[in-house]
Amino acid sequence: MKTVVIGAGLGGLLSAARLSKAGHEVEVFERLPITGGRFTNLSYKGFQLSSGAFHMLPNGPGGPLARFLKEVEASVNIVRSEMTTVRVPLKKGNPDYVKGFKDISFNDFPSLLSYKDRMKIALLIVSTRKNRPSGSSLQAWIKSQVSDEWLIKFADSFCGWALSLKSDEVPVEEVFEIIENMYRFGGTGVPEGGCKGIIDALETVISANGGKIHTGQEVSKILIENGKAAGIIADDRIHDADLVISNLGHAATAVLCSEALSKEADAAYFKMVGTLQPSAGIKICLAADEPLVGHTGVLLTPYTRRINGVNEVTQADPELAPPGKHLTMCHQYVAPENVKNLESEIEMGLEDLKEIFPGKRYEVLLIQSYHDEWPVNRAASGTDPGNETPFSGLYVVGDGAKGKGGIEVEGVALGVMSVMEKVLG
């Protein structure tokens, strides 16, 4: 079977690796001169920065992405993180970190609640695994259960780091699916070599199975015949195919086959595509001579204005920085209405870092923003519309079609798995 994959980002390369291993004749078309998209490395001053995603897998060596890599025999070593910590003011009631702070374990977040609310949370943790809440945002559900504002700050920090959303923007169902996946797969991990270590390993699998990757070739049209994908046009050349996998998200995919989507029967798909909203964020990369975080996991920062979470990837893989240096990555959520004020958002993030790391010496290496056509996610988590399109043999993968409960790249892997089940049986 001939398969064409549009886009050499993580979702596209995962699909190409699995299908080429299954015996498909696979060709990947990527408009950029490099592969990986928002999941590869950028070499700068001897540091291996990332083009998008942090050098971190939310569910580590036991998660969906790691399991998929093992299935296709992609050689990647993923280092399990030691812990996730939460930075809180030294004295309860302080609004920020200016008067001191302490770090607590992620699992100890209920310790800052009243005795009554701690007991309630303990019961909820047990009961909601079987009877999950639904029909509201995470924030609305929390407010219906406890009165302490600490839980809202904690939820906003976690959702900001993991999803680039606030807790009032995430369906409670999606968050509880994420929590279940944390129980199922475990916490974070860092791939040796960073994002590019995974991309290189997938390219090796694709090449070893006869697949081809074309860079610098933009797809201008998806060919549809009798309601079925029949190939693509790239650089004015027709490439026939039995199966087309798009890593571009539903909106961009719909544009490429818009002529075939003009029927009234496809009005619902057009309407759905028009409602999808990308999530936006900012990443600030820091260089330091001494550790800023001191462990391989995530540091959540609920008492800042903008920064949601920080991780120091060189604690797991020192090769991501020059000898003796540390690379720390900081992420902040950007609200849709603030995308037009990115300079102000960045300034608030930089001010946050002074409070998070008081007295520490560091250099700001690079500040990256993700929005519009280059977002954190093409479809905000919890609004992913699945992988199918109105056409047989045309599927969408990537961060615009993630699986339920999959944080970032784990969701990408879950989405690809879903497509592979449909295609390969």
Q: Rounded distance, CA 333 to CA 392, Å?
A: 37
Cα angle: 66, vertex 77, 332; to 5 degrees: 65
Q: How confident is the model at residue 123 (pLDDT cuts 50, 70, 90)?
A: confident
The share of the chain scoring above pLDDT 70, in percent, equals 100
CATH 3.50.50.60 segments of the chain = 2-79+193-276+383-424
Which residues, in sequence order, are bridge partners of residue 232?
A: 222, 239
SS3 sequence of 75-107:
CCCEEECCCCEEEEECCCCCCCCCCCEEEEEHH
Residue carrying structure tokens 């030691």: 82
Say if domain 2-79+193-276+383-424 classifies as CATH 3.50.50.60: yes
| In contact, 185 and 64? CB cutoff 8 Å | yes
CATH 3.90.660.50 segments of the chain = 85-186+280-374
Amino acid found at 276: L
Amino acid found at 414: L
Statement: residue 45 has pLDDT above 90: yes
pLDDT digits (tens, 9 = 90+) for 224-246: 999 999 999 999 999 999 999 99
Q: Which fold has domain 85-186+280-374?
A: Polyamine Oxidase; Chain A, domain 2 (3.90.660)
pLDDT digits (tens, 9 = 90+) for 295-352: 999 999 999 999 999 999 999 999 999 999 999 999 999 999 999 999 999 999 999 9
Average pLDDT over residues 124-152: 90
Q: Rounded distance, CA 275 to CA 254, Å?
A: 13
Reported pTM? 0.96
